[in-house]
Each structure stands twice: as structure tokens, then as C-alpha cells.
């Protein structure tokens, strides 16, 4: 990696040693480290840009592939078409609190919602058991469910 010693040392303290490590971490995660300055971050982004890469790229690809796999699994299990999964969550007529939580998770479609687990939803601030039960009930009425973690 063609970066300054200062930037390299900062990355080493964060256990980031390869380009692959940089592709797996987001800009937000990097900013959370105390020993990385704005100049260091700009240098890293510039270096990645010259190679046609960007921070968090691998994570985005993994999330996209996982989402597609869950969509395919949902279609197989429920016989749902893409149109059903692409319906807006607004059609579920959820409470304001539940809608705000989904907005924080960037959930826009029923398919997006079905890719989430109970734990992911419960991790949202001000989202509790009542909202979780409401969402599960509305999904069940429409023939869907939240993703279950496989053990």
C-alpha cells in the first residue's frame, strides 16, 4: 500500500494490514478510531480510489448477496413473487414507532423487512417488544416472517 508511515501505523494499531481489510471496514467504522485523522482517512480513500476500490466495498457486496439469497429463499418457501417482496412496508400500516425504526434500518420493502432478524430490530433505539409483535403479526397476515438465525 502506498501510504504514509503515519497512516500505516494508525492502520496497524487497528489491526488493518491488507487492502482486503480496508475493503471490509466502512468509513464510519474507521472514523470511530481515535488515532486516525481526517488527513489519514483522505489518504486511504485516495489510495483506494486509484485502484478503483472504496472503503466497505466487500461488506456491501456480502450484504447484497445475502439479501438476494434471503429473497430467493423467501420466494421458494412462500411462493411469493418479486412484486410481493417489493411492496412498500407502508402497505403494512404500521405504527409510527415501528415505521421510524424501519426507516433507521433503511427498510423500504417487505422483502427488506423479511431479511431482518428479531435481534436486528430489537437493536434499534426505542424499538420494543410491542413493535416487534406488531411487525411479526402484520408479516404473518401477509404470508411472510422475519429471517431466523440458523443454528
Closest CA to 7 of 33, 41, 34, 31: 41
pTM of the model: 0.55
CATH superfamily of 5-55: 5' to 3' exonuclease, C-terminal subdomain (1.10.150.20)
Using one digit for the tens of pLDDT, what is the confidence trace for 93-125? 999 999 999 998 889 999 889 888 888 888 888
Using one digit for the tens of pLDDT, what is the confidence trace for 25-44? 888 788 877 888 999 999 99
**Does the domain made of 65-141 have the CATH classification 1.10.150.20?**
yes
Measured CA to CA in angstroms, residue 134 lies from 3, 138, 146 at distances of: 51, 6, 12
Closest CA to 22 of 67, 46, 65: 46
Domain ranges of the chain: 5-55, 65-141
How many CA atoms lie within 13 Å of 124's alpha carbon, on the beta-carbon side?
21
Amino acid at each position: 500500500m502506498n501510504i504514509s508511515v503515519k497512516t500505516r501505523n494508525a492502520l496497524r494499531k487497528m489491526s488493518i494490514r491488507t487492502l482486503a481489510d480496508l475493503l471490509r471496514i466502512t468509513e464510519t467504522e474507521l472514523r470511530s478510531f481515535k488515532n486516525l485523522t481526517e488527513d489519514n482517512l483522505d489518504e486511504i480513500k485516495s489510495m483506494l480510489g486509484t485502484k478503483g476500490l472504496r472503503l466497505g466495498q466487500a461488506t456491501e457486496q456480502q450484504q447484497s448477496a445475502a439479501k438476494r439469497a434471503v429473497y430467493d429463499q423467501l420466494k421458494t418457501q412462500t411462493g411469493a413473487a418479486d412484486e410481493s417482496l417489493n411492496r412498500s412496508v407502508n402497505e403494512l400500516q404500521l405504527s409510527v414507532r415501528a415505521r421510524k425504526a424501519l426507516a433507521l434500518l433503511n427498510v423500504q420493502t417487505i422483502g427488506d423487512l423479511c431479511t431482518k432478524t428479531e435481534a436486528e430490530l430489537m437493536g434499534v433505539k426505542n424499538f420494543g417488544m410491542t413493535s416487534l409483535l406488531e411487525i411479526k403479526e402484520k408479516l404473518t397476515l401477509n404470508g411472510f416472517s422475519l429471517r431466523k438465525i440458523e443454528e
